[in-house]
Amino acid sequence: MSSSVIVVKAAHDPEAGVWYVESSDVAGLSLEASTLESLIEKLPGAILDLLDEGGAESLLEVPVELIAHASTRVRLGRNA
């Protein structure tokens, strides 16, 4: 991994009620959790597991930037 920051993009699936990793700088990173906070807690261990498997160099610390997005709808109506 040549980047000095690992970027992880997370999204919310309202139907399933989970946050999940939509994309990431770490190949194979696939996680989901019921809350965004839980997903954040799972990230370091999962990233380390994948980087160790890939034979990555030992690094003391690499920042992880999590970008999360969710959407909702608002019903607009006109009062008669």
Burial class (CB within 10 angstroms; exposed 0-12, middle 13-18, buried 19+) of 39: buried
Query: CA dist 52 to 12, 18, 65, 70, 72, Å?
Result: 28, 27, 20, 31, 38
**Between 64 and 78, the higher pLDDT residue:** 64
Provide the CA 39 distance to its chain's centre, in angstroms. Answer: 7
28-72 pLDDT, tens digit per residue, is 999 999 999 999 999 999 999 998 755 555 556 889 999 999 888
pLDDT of residue 77: 86
Q: Check whether 2 has a pLDDT greater than 60.
A: no
Containing 52, the helix (H) or strand (E) segment is helix 36-53
- Give the chain's domain count: 1
d(CA 51, CA 47): 6
- What is the token pair recorded at 35? 């809350």
> Which structural domain range is residue 12 located in?
6-69
Q: Kindly state whether residue 41 falls inside one of the protein's structural domains.
A: yes
Q: Kindly state whether residue 30 falls inside one of the protein's structural domains.
A: yes
- The CATH number of residue 31's host domain is 3.30.2390.10
Q: Kindly state whether residue 1 falls inside one of the protein's structural domains.
A: no
